[in-house]
Amino acid sequence: MKLQVIQNDGTPLETFIELEQEVFGIEPNEHCMYLAIQAELANMRQGTHKGKTRGEVSGGGRKPWRQKGRGTSRAGSNRSPLWVSGGKVFPPRPHLYTQKLNKKVRRLARRSALSAMVKNECVVVVDEISIESPKTREFVELLNNLKLIKKKVTILVHDVSENLYLASRNVPNVTIVPAERASTYDILNCEVLLMEKRAAETLNTLLKA
């Protein structure tokens, strides 16, 4: 499987990159991709939510009024969940949402995601993504040359340079990830997958069965 390599200015080169069939050309396994994305999104959750029970809210300590004779309901504490500013009955508690996934399933999910993007013709390979200065204007010009200015793009690079990071951080709908760390969610959560030539070669080596 071969894809044509283009330059930063959008000009096609005469060179092609060879993509491994085992990485970019398999039949996508939708269930593995679902499991991987579910685990990744769950692992992003902090799980630090917490509410207070009636034993943790301030107040209480004495009976608000006598048991009988007032013509109102009985009350034993102003920390009761029935009262305004009282405690919660079953409040949320801090806990982990971590989900574990087998290594083989994660690898298959990543290969399936890459294959699905290639199959849908959503992959663009550039020779090298280089930014001379940390200017957003320069990065936007690069996207404009590649006709990606209004699209949601995930950029896979061999190494994230400081200039590239600074120039792209204010541009919406653009995510830059080192190729070796790209997850299934990163690959699929875009309209176009833009890869450096060296990043594609890294994936060829890393995910080859």
CATH code, 142: 3.40.1370.10
pLDDT tens track for 120-160: 999 999 998 888 889 999 999 999 999 998 899 999 999 89
One-letter-per-residue 3-state SS of 16-54: EEECCHHHHCCCCCHHHHHHHHHHHHHHHCCCCCCCCCC
Structural domain total, the chain? 2
DSSP character at residue 191: S
Which residue segment(s) compose the domain that 41 sits in? 2-45+99-206
Choose among 197, 199, 142: nearest CA to 167. Answer: 142
pLDDT tens track for 71-89: 999 999 999 999 999 999 9
pTM exceeds 0.95, yes or no: no
Q: In what order do the strands lie in the sheet with 2-6?
A: 12-18, 2-6, 123-126, 192-196, 153-157, 174-178
Do residues 117 and 149 both lie within one domain?
yes
Q: How far is 41 from 123, CA to CA, in rounded Å?
A: 23
pLDDT above 70: residue 95: yes
* Banded pLDDT at 209 (limits 50, 70, 90): low
* Alpha-carbon separation of residue 200 from 7, 20, 29, 103, 104 (angstroms): 15, 10, 21, 21, 20
Among 29, 62, 96, give the residue marking a domain's end.
96
Do residues 103 and 89 both lie within one domain?
no
Beta bridge partner(s), residue 196: 126
Do residues 52 and 145 both lie within one domain?
no
Look at the chain and count its residues: 209
State the chain's mean pLDDT as an integer.
93
Do residues 18 and 71 both lie within one domain?
no
For residues 208 and 23, the answer to whether their CB atoms sit within 8 Å is yes
**Which positions ≥6 away from 126 have C-beta within 8 Å?**
5, 6, 7, 8, 146, 194, 195, 196, 197
Do residues 51 and 103 both lie within one domain?
no
pLDDT tens track for 153-173: 999 999 898 999 999 999 999
For residues 50 and 92, the answer to whether their CB atoms sit within 8 Å is yes
Do residues 124 and 192 both lie within one domain?
yes
The pLDDT of residue 17 is 92
pLDDT tens track for 32-84: 999 999 999 999 999 999 999 999 999 888 999 999 999 999 999 999 999 99
Do residues 10 and 81 both lie within one domain?
no
Residue 13 host element (H or E): strand 12-18
